Amino acid sequence: MKKLIAGVMMLVLLSSCGNKRTSIDPFASITHEVDSIRQKEDSIHQEKLPEDPKPTEVDESFDDFIYNFASDDTLQFQRVRFPLPYYNGDEKVNIEKRFWKHDNLFTKQHYYTLLFDREEDMDLVGDTSLTSVQVEWIFVKKRMMKRYYFERIKGAWILEAINLRSIEQSENEDFVEFFGRFASDSIFQSQRVFDPLVFVTSDPDDDFSILETTIDRNQWFAFKPVLPTDRLSNINYGQRNDDDSSTKILALKGNGNGFSNILYFRRKGGAWELYKFEDTSI
């Protein structure tokens, strides 16, 4: 009898121990380890994610920003949204960060150029309320345009995309084609300078005064600046740039050297001519 009771007690004890084992989740420790690993991975991933760029003083004016963007390798990497969409006509590729090469834009030149259709649009330069600006290279001989799209996001300027495309041919005399010949062919240039030419310059006797007079065609060649023949730069702040416009203004601005020349063109009888020249260099 004692043996029978002992056997029953042993069976009950074994049954009880067996129930305890089946109540334990055999994957609990593995799940915990996986969750722990995932938390660590998430933490590492979050640390590697680039933070939103913080605006600095150079972001106040786009002109200040673009000069620093083109000059400072570190700032440029921070202000390009990678992978960067690059459109070549109808084809699109994404440029990864590891393949990006520093772009000096026009900072290695003595001056850069700006294009306007109207004088009032020149007031857009230095506007601190802008949120979208495009920087352009106009390749005169190849008739191509390379455009960089910048957006101000949370106060910081960011390069969002680049677009390379051909320049459409206009029914009228195309300004880019005209200017390419005007800048490189002196005989053609003399034919397209209105005589007398309006000339605006600083008063040599008063640094705060501007003189407006006229000069003849031969004097133009004595005063004229060296003109770009291969490519023009442009910063599109939102100004009009219509291929069919009857007026064009080409501003030549020095990179920190006080140089400032402005050429005023108009379309007369279907052909472009220079009718006003301004030299207010310091």
Surface-to-core class of residue 272, CB atoms within 10 Å of its CB (0-12 exposed, 13-18 middle, 19+ buried): buried
Give me the phi and psi of 216, to 5 degrees please: -85, 175
* Dihedral angle sign, alpha carbons of residues 119, 129, 126, 135: negative
Euclidean distance between CA atoms 259 and 272, whole angstroms: 25
Region of 161 (left: φ > 0; alpha: ψ -120 to 50; beta: rest) is beta
pLDDT of residue 206: 82
pLDDT in tens, 15-55: 444 444 333 333 333 334 434 434 443 443 333 334 678 89
Report residue 170's pLDDT band, with 50, 70 and 90 as the boundaries.
confident
More confident residue, 168 or 56: 56
Averaged confidence pLDDT in the chain: 85
pLDDT of residue 35: 47
* Dihedral angle sign, alpha carbons of residues 72, 154, 81, 91: negative
Model confidence at 275: pLDDT above 70:
yes
Please count the helices (runs of H) and the strands (runs of E) in the chain.
Answer: 7, 12
3-state helix, strand, coil in the chain (%, to 5): 35, 35, 30
pLDDT in tens, 64-91: 999 999 999 999 999 999 999 999 999 9
Model confidence at 9: pLDDT above 80:
no
DSSP letter for 246, please. Answer: S
pTM: 0.80
For range 112-135, the mean pLDDT: 96
